[in-house]
A and B are shown apart, each in its own frame.
Chain A
Amino acid sequence: MTDDLLRLKTETDAALAAAGDLRAWDAVRIAVLGRNGALTGLLKELGRVPAEEKRARGAALNALKEALTAAIEARRVALEGAALEVRLAAERMDVTLPPRLAPGGLIHPISRTMEEMAAIFGAMGFAIAEGPDIEDDWRNFGALNIPAHHPARQDMDTFYVPGMDVEGRQRVLRTHTSPVQVRTMLNQEPPIRVIVPGRTYRADHDATHSPMFHQVEGLVIDRAITLGHLKGCLIDFLRAFFGIDTLPVRFRSSYFPFTEPSMEVDIGWNRRTGELGGGGDWLEILGSGMVHAKVLANCGIDAREWQGFAFGMGIERVTMLKHGIADLRPFYESDIRWLRHYGFNPLAPATLHEGV
């Protein structure tokens, strides 16, 4: 490399080193590579070089151009990197600051349990039936083999609504979800497989009774449904619902006017710890039985042809057991602290594939 080229290289390197920011760097770049830059000038003069030197001079200039271009680019990268470092050093935040969260809403435990019941019974082929809260005394009692004088009618603590319905019957707040059995059997030909979750009302208010509460009713009517199916269905449900596949389930003879035979169903638990599944104690959890021939007849179903079972359980009760909720009354108080504590994430609904 001739002296002039070497000098240009040396001077450019020094100028680049001296350029502290991109603006100074750009001045160097223009001074060297620009239209009137030093290197551009040398290239223009190549034509005047004697022919025998031209080849060597051209090669030297090209080498110089590559070297200078690389040096200028390298300096740009270095300067930009340094500038970014400075910016990043300045752009710091306290990442422990609390972010602004969208307020999280919640699903009430009663709704959650109803959803879980729909998922589990749905897999067993049940549909969901519904009925009004204000019923008449025939659907709530008479059709269900609870005649007017029956002691069971007194045990129900019925709320009466003034006046008669369109069919001339006394209006009542339904004391159980069982009137929907009657509605279903009158509106639909068997086979029938429904559950009926819903609000129910009894004039009773203390630590363990609420004047409004929720039940789920089940009704299965088919040709060859036996008491064995009743047991299988309820055992399958209880084990899935409580998530204990060895949950002990006991069936005891009992009495309900609308079923025969009737059974109380107990699950195994530990009375002392409240833990479900073992412990040697029994906890009454629901009532069940084969649908009474009178109930079928009152709804126009021939008991020689069709038979089946029904059951009913308290939704609050199984919810309290499943989640270890000690007190009934806060279910209805809408205390935001209780709701936040026991409520469920709406984006994680109860489905069988995600787990109930």
Chain B
Amino acid sequence: MKFPLSWLKTHLETEASLDEITTALTNIGLELEGVENRGAALAPFVVAHVVEAVQHPNADRLRACQVDTGSGIVSVVCGAPNARTGMKGVFAPPGSFIPGTGITLKVGDIRGVQSAGMLLSYKEMGLGEDHAGIVELDDSAPVGVGYASWAGLDDPIIEIAVTPNRGDALSVRGVARDLAAAGLGVLVPFAPEKVEGHGASAVDWAIELPLACPWVLGRTIRGVQNGPSPKWLQERLVAVGLRPINALVDVTNFFTLDLGRPLHVFDADKVAGGRLIFRAGDGETFLALNGKEYTATQDDCVIADANGVQSLAGVIGGAATGCDENTTSVFVECALFNPVSVALTGRRHQVISDARQRFERGIDPALLPDAVEAATRMIQHLCGGEASEVVAAGAEPAWQRTASLRFARLREFGGLDVPADAAVAALERLGFGVVARGDASVTVSVPSWRNDVAASSALEPSPSLPAARADKAAEGRAVMEPECDLIEEVLRLHGLDSVPPVSLPVAGAVPVATLSARQLRSAVARRTLAAQGLAECVTFSFMASATAALFGTAHAALRLGNPIASDLDQMRPTPLATLAMAAQRNAARGFGDVGLFEIGPGFPEPEGQLLLAAGVRAGVSSRHWQGGAVAVDAMLAKADVWTVLAGLGVPMEALSVTADAPGHYHPGRSGVVRQGPKTVLAHFGALHPAVLAALDLDGPVVGFEINLDAIQDPKRRKKAAPDLPAFQPVRRDFAFVVEGGVAAEAVLKAARGAERSLIAGVALFDLYEGDKMEEGRKSLGVEVTFQPRERTLTDQEIEAACQKVVVAVAKATGATLRG
């Protein structure tokens, strides 16, 4: 909300400086957005008299002028067609900066005539687009006086942000009231004199929707002469960003801003049937004052005459019954609307208007009679005419209510010791009236304009609450909310900076662990993956539905109703999808060799979400003088999974890997990591070539997804004593030849199980599938570690153990020893 300082001062008698006022506004919750001081840029410019303007001797289009600047007569060359002897204009002396052109003036010589200054247009002063000629001022303008102060432009325009609860502060008077309450001056009384009515109004009211419009007043003023409003009114409206229309309309806009009291004027002669009805819309289309057509729905409250809809109530008026320069009889509307009804209509038709803004925040329900009188007076003052009696429909709603404050609560809740008298005085300055006062508390009446205080709006309690608990909580709210409202008012005016900060009390000097086991899993997984060389990313949870479908099902139930862009319309099934896109973007920038990971939500099913740790590795590692470049492969992704799972305390010996990964993986080069037959902990593998092609991503690219919620909390048992035999282990190598389809894990598992008491470890050290092998067979080099415990093994014992390994592996896999 914007207003010039001078307007504020029509409601606030104050000696406070602009700085004091703006600081106070911010402190009391009317946050200063800015101060526009148009006068500052205009400071060098003065009113000047053109003593003589003659044709320039050497230029057809220029005029040579003698200009009285109030401090001497100077020669000025001017190109404006309207420069003429005797006029008054605005003079810029040499050295002044011209806002409209960005040039600093110098004394010059223009085709042989000196030019020691400039006569300005509005555009050159930065006051609009008018560049048709130089500014022509009224004859009464005093020569030598600063233009800004003469034109009233040295009036700073203050802009504040008004929070949605403070409809009352969407008015100059409301702001003045708050400032006065904060001690910055005295609020000027507002008590418009009643205008005696003569005769019945030409138009009257009927309310069919009392919920949407509980009360309305109106009055006809006959014999008005409409035209442009006076300069002071136009200037105020322009200052706050409104366009002056005509006096009658300008009066309504004035009161919207001045009192926060939107009004509407109908041309009484254009209202058909002599009655305006508040009723539900019926699909009628009408042309509004903003030049757009709207079709009223059954959910809208409209104002209609015999011809149909003339206005969306509280939102925007219609063109058909609007006032123009031919209007001679005006009907003033001053109504009270239901805030919700106005908000819904405004939103439905996407109209943002000053009226809607105020009605939907709630206006002062007691102000209607005074507002009608004030508006009548101003209309008569500007346009003449005779006022009818006031016509009304509905009635003033019962807005009166009280609220109580226990003074101790200022300290116990607000954290500030405020003396009782000071608290009561602050409330009284805001317009609250003391109803009852005791030593420990005060009960006050709430002023009509503060519909945010002690408002009894409906609760929306959780349906899961037991009735007794819900009732008790509702009682608590009924007591505490009005008191909190009052505490807020007192603290607001006192300044929240005066509340002394107190550190939170803690249970003990040493804090307990902050993270839950689940949160710790995320933290450890994150550090582990980063330590594995992957860079953590944060990518959007939504993506293009077509791309999402590559990584699972793009459920319609997870497609946003109002996406911000078509490529951000679908909740991602897995962060692997957005990471693959990130790898593609990096490759497109020339960084094809990246390792990325993310810990975040995936939405593979219509309901619920998973916490996934996903990663991609793409491309070929950069070349190094000690060894060639290495392309990523599925085993690298498996290693990432293994490292994370081991780091999270998963019993690795209990894991199995099956080759049935989801469809976004290469079917032959991917795996599912399982703990037991049912629990899937992770997927890993090369991404499917079709997925890579769809993403325009050059291979090789591998990835993984770890379901962090599937991992069980590690058992916090004490470890058993370690097994540290005194005898050296013995290692023997075996080369097993098996069918190509035999899983390496089967060979290793069989070897491990051949002699459990003796075999401490098996490791695959070689895999050969080359041309020296029989077609369809492969050779696995396995190192078996035998760990003696009682004594050193004899050669015969070692030989016997090796034989057991060979037999066990042969039995399990059909392996033979390589010759």
Contacts and interface: CB of A to CB of B under 8 A. Distances in A.
A154 B414 contact: no
B504 A232 contact: yes
B511 interface: yes
B140 interface: no
Interface stretch (B72-80, B213-221, B318-326, B556-564): B556-564
Interface string A213-224: 010000010001
B496 A252 contact: yes
B14 interface: no
Interface string B227-253: 000000000000000000000000000
B533 A125 contact: no
A102, A107, A294 — most chain B CB neighbours (10 Å):
A294
A186 B491 contact: no
Contact of B534 (A100, A105, A205, A236): A105
Given A107-B526, A110-B538, A235-B501, A261 B560 contact: no
Interface stretch (B288-296, B457-465, B779-787): B457-465
Contacts of B27: 252-253
A115, A118, A303 — most chain B CB neighbours (10 Å):
A303
A313 interface: no
B198 interface: no
Interface string B500-521: 1111101100011111100100
Interface string A252-292: 11110100111110000000000000000000000000101
A42 interface: no
A297 B499 contact: no
Given A293-B480, A300-B462, A161 B474 contact: no
Contacts of B564: 159, 203-205, 211
Interface stretch (A24-32, A81-89, A341-349): A341-349
A73 B479 CA distance: 103
A321 interface: no
Contacts of A126: 514
Contacts of B487: 261
A235 to B, nearest CB: 5
Given A149-B344, A336-B586, A226 B415 contact: yes
B527 A125 contact: no
A253 B540 contact: no
Given A105-B595, A108-B538, A334-B537, A162 B557 contact: yes
B21 interface: no
A103, A253, A254 — most chain B CB neighbours (10 Å):
A253
Interface string B590-621: 01001111011101001111000000000001
B476 A302 contact: yes
Interface stretch (B131-139, B158-166, B368-376, B396-404): B158-166
A78 interface: no
A227 interface: yes
Given A105-B531, A333-B585, A211 B413 contact: no
Given A261-B496, A290-B484, A107 B527 contact: yes
B414 A134 contact: no
Contacts of B746: none
A229 interface: yes
Nearest to B470: A300
Nearest to B559: A162
Interface string B453-487: 00001111111111001101111110111001101
Contact of A133 (B462, B537, B541, B621): B541
A97, A252, A257, A262 — most chain B CB neighbours (10 Å):
A252
B492 A250 contact: no
A162 B603 CA distance: 14
B412 A162 contact: no
Interface stretch (B382-390, B623-631, B736-744): B623-631
B571 A134 contact: yes
Given A119-B514, A264-B31, A343-B536, 4 more contacts: A98-B625, A107-B536, A235-B501, A333-B582
6 contacts: A111-B536, A127-B516, A151-B164, A182-B462, A255-B163, A302-B472
Interface of B: 26-29, 31, 163-166, 339-340, 343-344, 347, 360-361, 411-416, 457-466, 469-470, 472-477, 479-481, 484-485, 487-488, 491-492, 496-497, 499-504, 506-507, 511-516, 519, 523, 526-542, 556-565, 568, 571, 579, 582, 585-586, 589, 591, 594-597, 599-601, 603, 606-609, 621, 624-627
Interface of A: 97-98, 100, 102-108, 110-111, 115, 118-119, 121-128, 130, 132-134, 138, 142-143, 147, 149-152, 154-155, 159-163, 166-167, 173, 182, 186, 193, 199, 201, 203-205, 211-212, 214, 220, 224-233, 235-236, 250-255, 257, 260-264, 290, 292-294, 296-305, 307, 331-337, 339-340, 343, 346-347, 349
